[in-house]
Chains A and B, each alone.
Chain A
Amino acid sequence: MWRFVGGRLLQAIPVILAVITVTFFLVRIAPGGPFDSEKAVIPEVKAALEAQYRLDLPLGQQYLAYLSDLARGELGPSFKYPGRSVNELIAAGLPATAELGAYALLVAVLLGGLAGVFASLKPNSAQDYIPMSVAMIGICMPTFLLGPLLVLVFGIHLEWLPVSGWGDMPGDKILPSLTLGAAYAAYIARLSRAGMLEVMSQDYIRTARAKGLPEWQVVTRHALRGGLIPVVAFLGPAFAGLLAGSFVVETIFQIPGLGRFYVQAAFNRDYTMILGTTVFLSTLIVLFNLLSDILAAWLNPRLRAQYGEA
């Protein structure tokens, strides 16, 4: 098992390095320098600024300097917010985004998992069709449409819940978490239904029934584990999707999180901020992928043994 974890970690390193490299050079070759937009910049000031951000160095040296900064955990100063570092900006946005992501993931796993398992117990009945139709709506209804619609109905029309903010008013976390989690709840519902149906058709389920176990024990003891492995493996990609989705949700609900900072940085062409956030988020995603992979492998005794003994 440790070999497997180690191997996957070793694989993750080049991936992260590749992300850093590609992002760095992409940002640098972007047409138009960061200070071009401000027309009336005095040449001396511009030179001073460029020196401050090391833009006067050759590209290779800039890259190496950036890597060595990264190694020390420094993401550099922001272009657009003078005097503030990217680290500070990320630290400011991360808590809200992390909380939002965690709630959304919870919504996705609990709601989706329950609905999927529930539907799989009686395939092709109302118990199957109803949750699966809702799931289909969840998949077809993009976050950026669902969010405004929920706001329209529950915020503006019914006035049950606040329409924006994060932690300012009671209940203002409900709509964003639901909006962000809905699509993934739908995916997980479909995945877990398919996984459970597959497992429930296996011979060993028949063995469990022949033992005289009641159906709920057959499901919980024998089927659930195998049936939910695909869901665990999906958590990695889901996490990446949730992060991207947080761009939209934070914009819609005006949540001061990382996603909104990122989109703003993109519009402001705040290159160090884009670079820093991309590197940070990518690393998170790669690590989370790794985690869900390891978890899925660990749940499967055959894989566990394969990596354990070799």
Chain B
Amino acid sequence: MSTVADSEAVLAEQGTSLWQDAWRRLRKNRLALFGLCVLVFFVLIAILTPWLAPYAHDAQDLDLGAAPPSAAHWLGTDIFGRDLLTQIMYGGRISLAVGFVATAVALVIGVTWGAVAGYVGGRVDAVMMRLVDILYALPFMIFIVLLMVVFGRNLLLLFLAIGAVEWLTMARIMRGQVQSLRQQEFVEAAISLGLSPATIVRRHLVPNALGPIIVYTTLTIPSVMLLEAFLSFLGLGVQPPATSWGLLISYGAETMEEYPWLLIFPGAALTLTLFALNFFGDGLRDALDVRGSGD
């Protein structure tokens, strides 16, 4: 039984994987950690909004009208006497949902597209990436505005449209990763060991390409949220009675002279979330030691 004892002794000396290393670096980055906490907090609130919100989503108090923050309405009310905190909580649900879902759409399309182009290479790669180049040159912001105008303000369409813009960069990053990894000697070693392409992709390419993808995903979410807020501000995004932070800011901007809190609180919610996401993304980038700016 000496061999078993032997191997147990061996297990005593644990190595640190690059993931553990990165996590250790991330933990030391206070800003990133703060970002993560804020983010988790906001997401939790968004999920629990129907139970946590102090008032019903559509509760109005027309007699009260726009009132500054008070004990009953912590963040004040809007001109219809609706509780601003409730509005911000419901708006956050939509803003965050758009951010996460559209990014997920971009992630799935982009990573698949980029991985296939990078791994297959040759003519397939040339055609696939040429298409990305052409789409890249299209002025998407204007297109999204156009789509919203033409098809009405449809939330699902908004997800798809934003996702369709953001996947391009994701595809480029993934392809670049796969291409440079493919030339690495450890992938050649895996080929000469006789591993199947699927196994090589799963065990050798994906884990190594993951870092930049995670970082870029984290940084895509805020830019998607900005886009949604931008469209909503113009009146081309989310439609009442649904609300989002962009829409709230738009209302707030109209009445900011008389009721500045209607602009400041939704603005703070959006800015804080974007801060959190960007700090967390930057921290991840440093921790995972990903080079380049991502976009």
Contact = CB atoms under 8 A, between A and B. Distances in A.
A19 B246 CA distance: 28
Contacts of A15: 134, 137-138
Contact of A27 (B133, B145, B150): B150
A248 interface: yes
Interface residues of A, number: 52
Given A152-B260, A247-B145, A140 B278 contact: yes
A27 B148 CA distance: 11
Contacts of A143: 230
Nearest to B272: A140
A282 B150 contact: no
B211 interface: no
Interface stretch (A48-56, A69-77, A219-227, A237-245): A237-245
B250 interface: yes
A307 B276 CA distance: 43
Contacts of B149: 30, 266, 269, 274
Interface string A27-62: 101110000000000000000000000000000000
Determine the main DSSP class of B at the interface with A. Answer: helix
Chain B interface size band reads 35 or more
Nearest to B137: A15
Nearest to A195: B293
Contacts of A19: 138-139
B146 A149 contact: no
Contacts of B151: 30-31
Given A136-B275, A148-B263, A248-B234, A26 B150 contact: yes
Contacts of B292: 194
Interface in A8-24: 11-12, 14-15, 18-19, 22-23
A3 B215 CA distance: 37
6 smallest beta-carbon distances between A and B, as pairs: A244-B141, A140-B274, A148-B253, A30-B150, A285-B139, A144-B233
Interface of A: 11-12, 14-15, 18-19, 22-23, 26-27, 29-31, 136-137, 139-145, 147-149, 151-152, 156, 190-191, 194, 230, 240-241, 243-244, 247-248, 251-252, 262-263, 266-267, 269, 274, 278, 281-282, 285-286, 289
19 contacts: A15-B134, A27-B150, A139-B274, A140-B222, A142-B226, A142-B233, A142-B274, A144-B249, A149-B267, A243-B142, A244-B230, A247-B234, A248-B230, A262-B145, A266-B146, A266-B148, A274-B146, A282-B142, A286-B139
